[in-house]
Amino acid sequence: MTLLAVFRSRAQTLEFVSALRGMGAAVQAVNTPKEAGVGCGISARFEGAFLPRARRALSSGRYSAFAGFMRQSGRGFEYL
């Protein structure tokens, strides 16, 4: 299952992508879907198997602009 970590800050998104890669996760910076309802425009896409690592990265507390996780649902995305 494809997941997105949605942020309200481009800088925090890119920092999160870097942190997750450092934890050995396959992750990409992608355009944020309109369903997210946030203006940043960039999210982190990764497979569900890496969700525990993503949560661990978020627990550092450096991501105040984190808006939530979304999963692919049909042709769009929805918040978990």
pLDDT band at 75 (very low <50, low <70, confident <90, very high): confident
Structure confidence by residue, pLDDT tens digits, 2-20: 999 999 999 999 999 999 9
Domain that includes residue 34, residue range: 2-79
CATH of the domain at 67: 3.30.70
pLDDT in tens, 12-62: 999 999 999 999 999 999 999 998 998 778 999 999 999 999 999 999 888
Question: Would residue 48 be called left, alpha or beta, if left means φ above 0 and alpha means ψ between -120 and 50 degrees?
Answer: alpha
Q: Please state the pTM of the whole predicted model.
A: 0.93
Domain count, the chain: 1
Q: What is the DSSP letter of 68?
A: E
pLDDT at residue number 60: 87
